[in-house]
Structure 1
Amino acid sequence: MTMQIIVLSGLPGSGKSTLAEGLSRTLSMPVFSVDPIEAAMWRSGLAKQSTGIAAYDVAIALSDEHLRLGHSVIIDAVNPVDAPRAAWRNLAVKHRAGLKIIECVCADEAVHRRRIEVRVRNIEGMPEVTWNQVLERRAEYESWSDARLVLDTSTGSAGQLLDEALNYLR
């Protein structure tokens, strides 16, 4: 099977981590999630203002190493602008891996807001994001130009969404 980089993208609370975990269990692939990486940096004493891009760099380095070893990877990150997106494209070219992008959206704003207000991710050292922060991120989020599957996670069960993603990856 050809190596793949599977990028899960979308705003906080859009369902990308849940989908990434389901894909990881089903496909036996590692997930590199930017939030736990960044939280580990904070716990190690790095200043919060310097860790955002660095967390992506760590995810890129881990992905690069796994791809070098012949393993596919799953990326769980907002990927709000083209710079991190370009890094995944470059890794795919470097390792001759397929690049599959799944953009998670929660089209029902009431559902999205409720998810944010009740979620507890238990990432040590990382506070939960607020709805106002999601709105700020949404204002900065650039449209993707790459081919991708867009999944509206406000409809369907987690199992149905996982099935849609798996069909896209085939």
Structure 2
Amino acid sequence: MERAAFVVVSGLPGSGKSTLARGLAMHLDLPVIDKDVILESLYDSLGVSDQAWRSRLSRASDEILFAVAADARRAVLDNWWHHDTAPNRLRLLGGLLVEVHCDCDAALASERFRARTRHPGHLDPHLTPEQVAERVSAIRASYPGPLRLGGSILTIDTSQPVDAAAVADHIAPILSGASKVAM
């Protein structure tokens, strides 16, 4: 039986987490579990409303992500992780945790955030470019960086395109060393 192992992609909103997570999943032959995909499915099935509703669905999406990850046992996990709760929740999944931290300047992350089109349930159109920049800058100012889950941490400069295959080549031996469990 293979030991549980997760590649946890972390970083600021707009730092390139989802792009890198999809590339890593492809090169590592792992499923990607993306919280935004879950959240947007909930918007589609349950509807879009105000910020309180969005927050409720966001918390529900977190719970679904952890349940699906526990069932999958091996996956690339993509989320904007809350440093106060996520590390403990991720450790409870058991197995190996490899963190890939996407790092880029807050101004670039803000620019990317404003340029992308997301599901209307995220309520992004209600934010001005200045509000987005303020939010990302505030997050960056209080953001402690990597989650520091106790396993390997790779900090990747995502200010330029990233070679996901090269990052996957670095991670693959770590995952393969964890693939066998003594019975």
- TM-score scaled to structure 2, two decimals? 0.73
Q: 1:51 to 1:142 in 2, by over 3 A?
A: farther
Q: 1:136 to 1:162 in 2, by over 3 A?
A: farther
> What fraction of aligned residue pairs are identical, expressed as a percent?
27
1:79 is aligned to 81
Q: How does 1:1-170 map to 2 (within 5 A)?
A: 2-43=3-44, 44-45=46-47, 47-67=53-73, 72-92=74-94, 97-107=95-105, 109-120=106-117, 122-123=118-119, 125-128=121-124, 130-143=132-145, 144-146=147-149, 147-155=152-160, 157-159=161-163, 161-170=164-173
What amino acid is aligned across from residue 93 of structure 2 in structure 1?
Answer: L
Work out the CA distance in 2 between the residues paired with 1:166 and 1:12.
25
Whether the 8 Å CA contact 2:87–2:148 is kept in 1: the answer is: no
Q: Name which one, 1 or 2, has greater alpha-carbon Rg.
A: 2
Gaps in structure 1 of 5+ consecutive residues = none
Work out the CA distance in 2 between the residues paired with 1:45 and 1:61.
22
What's the CA shift string for 1:110-161, capped at 9, x where partnerless? 43333223223x5464344833332343345344333511111114x322x5
Q: 1:6 to 1:145 in 2, by over 3 A?
A: closer
Query: CA offset at residue 168 of structure 1?
Result: 3.6
Matched length: 158
List 4+ stretches of structure 1 deviating above 4 A.
none
Work out the CA distance in 1 between the residues paired with 2:15 and 2:93.
25
Work out the CA distance in 2 between the residues paired with 1:132 and 1:41.
28
- TM-score scaled to structure 1, two decimals? 0.78
Work out the CA distance in 2 between the residues paired with 1:16 and 1:110.
16
